[in-house]
Amino acid sequence: MSQARSHWSNRWTFMLATAGSAIGLGNIWKFPYMTGVNGGSAFVLVFLACIAIVGIPLMMCEIMLGRRAQRNPIDGMHALAQEAGSSRHWKWVGVMGLFAGILILAFYSVIAGWILHYVVEAARGSFIGMDGERAASAFQQFLASPVELALWHTMFIGMTLGVVARGVNAGLEQANKILMPSLFAILLVLLGYSMSVGDFHAALHFMFTPDFSKVTPTAVLSALGHAFFSLSLGMGAVMVYGSYLQRHVSIARTSIYIALADTLVGLLVGIAIFALVFANHLEPGAGPGLIFQTLPIAFGRMPMGTIMGVLFFVLVAFAAWTSAISLVEPAVAWITENSRLNRKQSAWLIGIADWLLGIAVLLSFNLWQDIRLLFGLGIFDTLDKLTTTIMLPLGGLCMAVFAGWYMKTSHVAEELDISPLAYRAWRFTIRYISPLAIVAIFLYLTGLL
Ligand code: PFF
């Protein structure tokens, strides 16, 4: 099963790119506010368990599927199903993933646009002397302006598809090689800063003193759903990255490193944010507005707040950018490999589709505020819920079932190349634990639990 196609230059670039996909708005925007809303340490603890028990085995599974197939997720699932002697309908897993990526980018890009706007606001010194009221009204005013939102959204779509159009080596690899090390460097600076001026102790206490009474079913299931989103699992992004991976690289070891990097960044950003929040006696459980409404107040009151504010939002922008690239790579790879369009044209096509969808999403914050789609939710929330709580877990479930129950054991073992004991543990997880955990999410969501 091989085709002449691009590959990562080496194992490190694969790891950087996959970590780039994993580390994104999920870690920096969602994880801290979910921790804040779900009572702190209990949520962190459950999240860590979800990453270890479900996340890492599934990441191994998805990379394995991609590398064995050496194709985009749709053709890849088709080819693997043929090899296993099972139904060609498995390709629908790839199809669903491809659409999930396009739908996620539609709202991801809108939020990433807010981040770009906040880079500029921080640089203009708008945070200085900001109080809660002003922070909230500045944010509301921004959300009320479709033109401004569209401007930043357009810019982010352009940045994303611009990279994807350049291909695996000149685009994806090059971007990740620059953006990821910069991201880590900025993170260290911010940590040092929040350690010296923030309330580090309170942040650590909030995030790491376990209080088991707060481990509710809701906390468990939202942690599990977030583990998927955070590791970019279930939609073929990791699979398509795995399909550019050379044969000799250890899938198990790289998966563990990527999951560790993803988790560590989430935790460190969380600590940095909460240290600033607590030092200013602000509210940790503010929800999605945490970094847009609460954090600017903290930056505005602290020494060097302007420069640190800029650095913070640049960090978030870099993280979002490297994730966004991976959201559309499956679609662009599929079109390029199946039509006469070249990469650039495919990127334009997907870019236009996502731009249009994104416009609908950003209008749902103002002019189309009252439009209700699925489950009585607005456009933004519908896309978010549909993808992160249904499509990604469903994709992950199908991949686990396919790898665990349908693929030939010898093929899987050959691809994973781990000790017999580790293999047995992995297989048990992928056959029973991961599917059960995912089914639990669904049952819970439909109110049966
Ligand atoms: N993992 C990304 C984040 O945490 O922000 C989001 C994401 C990227 C999800 C790519 C899924 C994906 F395929």
Question: Pick from 327, 320, 443: which is nearest to 389 by CA?
Answer: 443
* DSSP secondary structure string for all residues of 167-214: -IIIIIIHHHHHHHHHHHHHHHHHHHHHHHHS-HHHHHHHHHS--GGG
pLDDT digits (tens, 9 = 90+) for 248-268: 889 999 999 999 999 999 999
Question: Pick from 265, 238, 266, 248: which is nearest to 323 by CA?
Answer: 238
* DSSP secondary structure string for all residues of 367-436: TTTT---GGG--HHHHHHHIIIIIIHHHHHHHHHHIIIIIS-HHHHHHHH---HHHHHHHHHIIIIIHHH
Which amino acid belongs to residue 48?
L
pLDDT digits (tens, 9 = 90+) for 46-70: 899 999 999 999 999 999 999 999 9
CB of 67 within 8 A of CB of 415? yes
Mutate to test the pocket of ligand 1, among 47, 226, 323 (most ligand atoms within 8 A of CB): 323
The tokens for 232 are: 């970019």
Q: How far is the CA of 180 from the centre of ligand 1 (A)?
A: 15
Q: How far is the CA of 122 from the centre of ligand 1 (A)?
A: 25
For the chain, give the number of residues: 449
As a whole number, the mean pLDDT across the chain is 92
- Return the residue whose CA atom lies nearest to atom 12 of ligand 1: 232
Residue 448 pLDDT grade (very low, low, confident, very high; cuts 50, 70, 90): low
CB of 73 within 8 A of CB of 238? no
Residue 174 has pLDDT above 50, yes or no: yes
Residue 1 has pLDDT above 50, yes or no: no
Which amino acid belongs to residue 115?
I
Q: How far is the CA of 17 from the centre of ligand 1 (A)?
A: 12
Instruction: Indicate the DSSP class of residue 53.
Output: I
Q: How far is the CA of 279 from the centre of ligand 1 (A)?
A: 31
Q: How far apart are CA 187 and CA 199, in angstroms?
A: 17
CB of 64 within 8 A of CB of 415? yes
Question: Residue 441 has what pLDDT?
Answer: 78
| Counts of helices then strands in the chain (DSSP H, E) | 22, 0
Q: How far apart are CA 299 and CA 288, in angstroms?
A: 18
**Which string of b and e fits 162-188 if b means at least 16 CB within 10 Å?**
ebbbbbbeebbbebbbebbeebbebbe
Question: Pick from 255, 271, 217, 236: which is nearest to 387 by CA?
Answer: 236
User: Taking the mean position of all CA atoms in its chain, how far away is CA 344?
Assistant: 24
Instruction: Indicate the DSSP class of residue 87.
Output: -
Question: Residue 410 has what pLDDT?
Answer: 93
Q: How far apart are CA 377 and CA 387, in angstroms?
A: 13
Q: How far apart are CA 50 and CA 52, in angstroms?
A: 5
Question: Residue 206 has what pLDDT?
Answer: 86
Q: How far is the CA of 235 from the centre of ligand 1 (A)?
A: 9
pLDDT digits (tens, 9 = 90+) for 227-236: 989 999 999 9
In the structure, which protein residues have their CB atom closer than 6 angstroms to any atom of ligand 1? 21-22, 24-27, 101, 104, 229-230, 232, 235, 237, 323, 326-327
Tell me which H or E stretch contains 332: helix 305-338
Q: What percent of the chain has pLDDT over 90?
A: 77
Q: How far apart are CA 267 and CA 88, in angstroms?
A: 41
Sign of CA dihedral 90, 96, 97, 98: positive
Question: Residue 213 has what pLDDT?
Answer: 78
Residue 314 has pLDDT above 80, yes or no: yes
